[in-house]
Structure 1
Amino acid sequence: MMGRFLAPYTCVCDLAIICGNAMPDQSLTQETTDTEAASLRSPVLSRADWLRAALETLIESGADAVKITRLADRLGVTRGSFYWHFKDRGEILEALIDSWAQKNTVAIVNAAGAGPDLTGSVLALMMAWLDAGLYDPRLDFSIRAWARSDAALRARVLETDETRLAALAQMYQRAGRSPEAAEVAARNLYYMQMGYYALGVSEALATRLSYIRGYFTSFTGEALPEARLKRFLEEVAQRPGIKDAG
């Protein structure tokens, strides 16, 4: 009798309770679904992702802007993700400096020693300075600006400049220059290029390339062979890191 009495009048929820199977809370179910969906949409950030965001922020706004909360906002995540990869802000700042040294200084040192002769090395340097994938002048400028208010970094920048100059001087010595002449030639080449960036010169790629012969002669005292120039220009056209600034 009880069963026949309950059947017409008891709601589905009541039956579930009577049977010992409570109906799921629809709001909780929806919340869980939304959380899982958000989790699936959220990217898993690596140390490289955080460092890339820090580098972009440094270049755009300076070292003071490289803050954990600002980076998290930029990446669209919480601050907690940062601490999986870095101990604190100081560690990511140090990583920025290391990244600069690895990218820009290594590019110059490698190029200076790359060629089978002085022509090859100077052309490799020109390629590095054209290709932002090898040498990023914006990063160099940002680090130097930061160093003006950081004595320890300033000392490291000076040390880095000496490393670069030494590599260039060795390049000239291998070509037969005396140590004194090689040092002067290295300074002439390096300070000219750094000055180009410091002045913020912006030229169309075609304009920069039109000066290659003249630059080469000023750096080496020799004429650039046409065959070597042709190969250089062909490689420039194929490199994705070389873009027209004009």
Structure 2
Amino acid sequence: MTMTNPQDEPAAGNIKVTRADWIDLALRTLISGGIESVRVLTLGQKLGVSRSSFYWYFESRQDLLDQLLRHWQDTNTKAIVERARRPAETIIMGVMNVFECWADERLFDPRLDFAIREWARRSADVRRVIDQADEERLLAIRDMYQRHGYDGEDAFIRARVLYYMQIGYYVLDLKEPVEARVSHLAAYLRAFTGLEPTEADVAHFMRFIAAR
């Protein structure tokens, strides 16, 4: 027999508001207004519930903020690391696995990543979490290159070029449509691997784009 955690259940008297509702609204508020906008009273007003609903699910505002960081790690960072570690026949296929994160915001939310980085400007603790996540992402991509025969320094630098280029792309807030960007897919793959992709490689990724 399984037992349900009371915190996973709707608060009494507020059956339409769940823990997930609080976190979802807090994430959207963080993205749209920054960390200072994530306030218990304000969120409660938007949800149409009292503060008691919040404290049914969370110990404190800090508890909620910790959950936002955990969500970011479990989505954005996990997506990159998982795809970098995914088995691939060639490094070109490996890089395209990572590219899936850039092409599908359901896997990697750039607005959330930017919001967390903005938050880190105001919090040394969040800055440390960001640094650890960046390191984890980079090492996963470096290891991907090493598995495909690139030596240590070459793998490390190629990982930095691939990852930092993409993060910089988001920081600059470039408004290039995905379709326009993938039109340069073969050139990107040459730049990141030093190898020539086949037509089948390009077609494989285009099928991913069409299916998302």
What TM-score, normalized to structure 2? 0.90
- Is 1:166 the counterpart of 2:136? The answer is no
Larger radius of gyration: 1
Q: 2:151 aligns with which of 170, 178, 203?
A: 178
| Structure number with higher relative contact order (C-alpha < 8 Å, ≥ 6 residues apart) | 2
User: Which stretches of structure 1, 4 residues or more, deviate above 3 A after TM superposition?
Assistant: none
Q: What residue number does 1:132 align with?
A: 105
Matches within 5 A, 1:61-140: 61-116=33-88, 117-140=90-113
Matches within 5 A, 1:172-211: 172-211=145-184
Alpha-carbon offset, residue 130 of structure 1: 1.1
Partner Cα distance (1:83, 1:144) in 2: 27
Name which of structure 1's ranges 111-120 and 99-108 shifts more when overlaid on structure 2: 111-120
Q: Which ranges in structure 1 are unaligned for 5 or more consecutive residues?
A: 1-38, 240-246
- Is 1:56 the counterpart of 2:28? The answer is yes
**Kindly tell me: are residues 46 and 181 of structure 1, through their superposed partners in 2, closer, same or farther at Cα, counting changes over 3 Å?**
same
Q: Any idea what SS the aligned residue of 1:107 has?
A: helix
Partner Cα distance (2:22, 2:84) in 1: 31
Q: What residue number does 2:186 align with?
A: 213
What TM-score, normalized to structure 1? 0.78
* Paired-residue identity, %: 42
Partner Cα distance (1:209, 1:74) in 2: 39
What CA deviation, in whole Å up to 9, does each residue of 1:176-223 have, x standing for no partner?
011111111111111101110010001122211111111111111112
Counterpart amino acid of 2:46? R
Is the CA contact 1:114–1:120 (under 8 Å) kept in the aligned structure 2? no
Partner Cα distance (2:38, 2:26) in 1: 6
Q: Which ranges in structure 2 are unaligned for 5 or more consecutive residues?
A: 1-12
Counterpart amino acid of 2:204? R
Partner Cα distance (2:177, 2:15) in 1: 37
What CA deviation, in whole Å up to 9, does each residue of 1:133-154 have, x standing for no partner?
1000111100010101101111
Partner Cα distance (1:120, 1:43) in 2: 47
CA-atom RMSD in angstroms: 1.3
Partner Cα distance (1:146, 1:206) in 2: 31
Alpha-carbon offset, residue 43 of structure 1: 5.1
Q: Any idea what SS the aligned residue of 1:70 has?
A: helix
Partner Cα distance (1:76, 1:213) in 2: 50
Count, aligned residues: 199
